[in-house]
Each structure stands twice: as C-alpha cells, then as structure tokens.
Structure 1
Amino acid sequence: MAMPHGVEILDDGIVTYSTDQVTYKLESSDRSTFSESVKPSVNIFPVGMGEGPVNMMLEVYPEPNSQFLLLTTSDELREDMYFEIYDEKGTLINKEELMGIQTEIDINDLWPSSYFIRVKNGAMGEKIFKVVKR
C-alpha cells in the first residue's frame, strides 16, 4: 500500500504522521533571540479489540496537516456502527455514527494530548485506537 508523504507504519502497528515544520522565534527587549523548530505529529496506536471480528484501519488525512482522521472500514457498513472519542481521563468527547466505508473525524478542536477512539460494530465487536495529537 502506498503511503502519503509523512506517513509511516512501524513494525508494531503504530502509524506515525508528521506535518510541516513550524519555527517559533522569541525576541526579548534586549534584542536577544531564541528560536526552536517543532514538527507536529499524530501517532495512532491500535490498543485493543472486543470479542467479535471488526476489520478496520485508521488513516490520517489530509496531507500535509492533521486536522482530521479518516476512519476506514472494510466491514460492510451497518446501521449500528459508530465511533466514540475519549480523553485520557475516560471522558466521552464525541460520539457519531459511521457515515460510510470512510468517515472523517475532525480533531482540529482537540487539545494536544492522547485520545482513545472506540469503534463499535453492533454486537459483532469493537476496536479501540489510541491517538496522540501533538
């Protein structure tokens, strides 16, 4: 499978996506400066599965930024398929039904942190992904 520029799949199943480099420059009143370059990235970790077979993959979209995640499933779409986003404390942030084989998840308003995306396929099972937004 061809991956877009900046996307890498590691041996342990982790997907890493990096965006363009951002440089911050601080200047003090005495004209001394400090600058630092940062390359924001999102890491996606598959962390668990329920009891039933759920065949899904999570891709980052679009390039070159990471404002959205694209949830792609190869399962036949059912009416009772949905995703939930939880923060590290277990607080439910968002819950929506899947809109088709590919569902775009907006993460633009989320703070840099770790989140869990739980995808439920009715009584067939679930899959949980850990997403790190930096």
Structure 2
Amino acid sequence: MVRGRADSKRTHCVSVRLNAEELARWQKARQQTERKELGAWVRAVVEESLNGHPGVPGDIPRVPEINETAYAQLVNAAEELRGLIHLAREEGTLPAAADATLTRLGNAALHVRGLPAAPENTAGQQR
C-alpha cells in the first residue's frame, strides 16, 4: 500500500464521529474493496469524489474480466521482448527503437488495466 510520497508527507488528521449504523455501512463498503484500513478507504472515496472517478468508491483498480487475457498476453510479450533486448545488448546488435517499443508495450498493458501510462523518457530506465 502506498502511504504518500516523501515530498508530500501527510501531517493533518481529520476526525469523524460515526454512530454504530454508519460505521457498519462504511465497514461493509470498505470490505467490498481491497482497502484494509478504513482511513485509506475514506481518503480514496473523498479523492475519487472530488476527481469525478467512476466505479466502486475506494476500490483499487483491477483488470476488467474482458481484458484479463489481453493483459496476460501483453505482459508475456513484454517479458519476451525484454529478454530479446537483453540478448541483443550482449551481442551489440540492439535496434535503436527497442527501448521505445518496450515502453509502448508496457504502456499498452497499463492501459488495459485502466492505469496511467509510464512517462516515455523514464520507462526504459525502470528495470
């Protein structure tokens, strides 16, 4: 679980009082997501509401069922391409566009999951 970034430390606490029924409803809604902490779920629900995101409030992005096969194929293709690029580097015959191709393939896998694409200039450095 991500707890924020080093350059954006959370320093403020917000307290909310709930009655037993409200707490039960919130916990039930949180349990329908993959959030383990009520505070993380509440933060996600509020942020999603403010940013107009669709879906189950506080849910962690999942691969839609229809895209599971496509996602698995893209991940396998990316791993095979990564291996071919590694071998080509060892032999000194690496095509100029290999890293860009690997980045596009990785971004396609992220797109299938509904996640943001990696920046073009740094994706090849993340190995």
Does TM, normalized by the shorter one, top 0.5?
no
Bigger Cα Rg: 2
Higher helix residue share:
2
Higher strand residue share:
1
Range class of TM-score, shorter chain: under 0.3
Q: TM-score normalised to the size of structure 2?
A: 0.22
User: Which of structures 1 and 2 has the larger relative contact order (alpha carbons within 8 angstroms, sep 6+)?
Assistant: 1
Q: TM-score normalised to the size of structure 1?
A: 0.21
